[in-house]
Amino acid sequence: MAAATSVVLLDRGNNTTCTINLHGATVVSWRVNNQEQLFVSKAAIFDGKAPIRGGIPVVFPHFGPWSYGPNHGFARVTQWGVEKRPERLPSGDVEAIFFCTDNEWTRSIWHYQFRLTYRLILREKRTRDMVIYQEGREAVTIGEWTDRIYQNTPQEHIITNVVSGRKMRVQKYNFPDTVVWNPWLDHSKDVPDLGEDEYPNMICVESGHVSSPVVLLPGTAFEASQILQGSDPYVFTYF
C-alpha cells in the first residue's frame, strides 16, 4: 500500500487527467483535452477540514442534515488512503483505488466498523456508446433555487450546457436516486464557500442511495458506481 499524499493524479495522456484530493477523496479536477469538466468554487476551502465546495465528493454514511454528525456524513471530510496508486491497465485506462475505514472519530459519531473502497477509472471516450444515447427523456431545467431528490430515476442522465455548452452523460449503477441542487442567487448567500456570482456556472447532480437507506449485515458489502462521460458536441448531435 502506498503512502498517502494529499493529491493523486490520474493521467491518461493527451492532456486528459483526473485529480483526487485525499480530503474526502474528492475529485477536484477532470480535464479532457485540457478542458476542465468539473465545477469547483473560487471560494472553495482547502484546509483539510471543510468539505471541498465542488468537484465530486463521496457522501457516506448519510445524505443531508444528520443529527449524529456533519451534513452529508463524514466521508467527504475524512482523509482517505490510497489502496492502489494510478496504474495503466492493458486497455489503456488508468485506475486508482482509494479507501477509508472507521476510526475513533467516526465511531464516536456512528458506532459501526466499515471499509469504503472507491475505485476510479479514467477511460477513453467510446464514441459508439455515446451514439446509443440520444432518446427523449424529460428535461429538468434550472431557473431558480432547486434542491430535489428524484427517486428511482433512469440509469442514464444527460447534463447539458456543462463546459462551453457541451453535454455530460451520467450512467449510474445501483444508485436509485438523483439529487439536483443549485442554490441560485437567494441561497448562494447561505453558502460562504461559493461566490455569489457562481451559481449560473454550476449544477450539482448526484447519484445516490438517498431516499432509502442501505442496510448492511455484518460482513456484507454494497457496491455502486457511476460513469461520467464528456462529449464533443458533434457526437451528441449525431442523430
* Residue of 14, 71, 101, 108 that binds ligand TA6 (CB under 6 A): 71
Report how far residue 39's alpha carbon sits from residue 199's, in angstroms, rounded to the nearest whole number.
10
Report how far residue 56's alpha carbon sits from residue 40's, in angstroms, rounded to the nearest whole number.
9
Single-letter amino acid, residue 71: N
Stretch that binds ligand TA6, among 64-72, 80-88, 102-110, 224-232 (CB under 6 A): 64-72
Report the nearest approach of ligand TA6 to the CB of residue 86 (Å).
27
Let me know: does 59 contact 100? Beta carbons within 8 Å.
Answer: no
Report how far residue 233's alpha carbon sits from residue 226's, in angstroms, rounded to the nearest whole number.
22
Indicate whether 147 belongs to the interface with ligand TA6 (CB under 6 A). Answer: yes
* Residue of 179, 202, 203, 228 that binds ligand TA6 (CB under 6 A): 179
Report how far residue 26's alpha carbon sits from residue 222's, in angstroms, rounded to the nearest whole number.
20
Q: Say which DSSP state 51 is in.
A: P
* Residue of 64, 200, 213, 233 that binds ligand TA6 (CB under 6 A): 64
Report the nearest approach of ligand TA6 to the CB of residue 128 (Å).
33
Indicate whether 181 belongs to the interface with ligand TA6 (CB under 6 A). Answer: yes
Instruction: Find where cell 456570482 sits.
Output: 197
Report the nearest approach of ligand TA6 to the CB of residue 51 (Å).
6
Indicate whether 51 belongs to the interface with ligand TA6 (CB under 6 A). Answer: yes
* Residue of 52, 206, 228, 229 that binds ligand TA6 (CB under 6 A): 206
Report how far residue 58's alpha carbon sits from residue 74's, in angstroms, rounded to the nearest whole number.
9
Return the C-alpha cell found at 124. 477513453
Q: In this complex, which beta carbon is closest to ligand TA6, that of residue 15 or of residue 211?
A: 211
First to last CA, the chain: 47
Return the C-alpha cell found at 133. 444515447
Size of site (CB under 6 A) for ligand TA6: 10
Indicate whether 211 belongs to the interface with ligand TA6 (CB under 6 A). Answer: no
Contact residues toward ligand TA6 (CB under 6 A) are 51, 64, 71-72, 147, 179, 181, 191, 204, 206
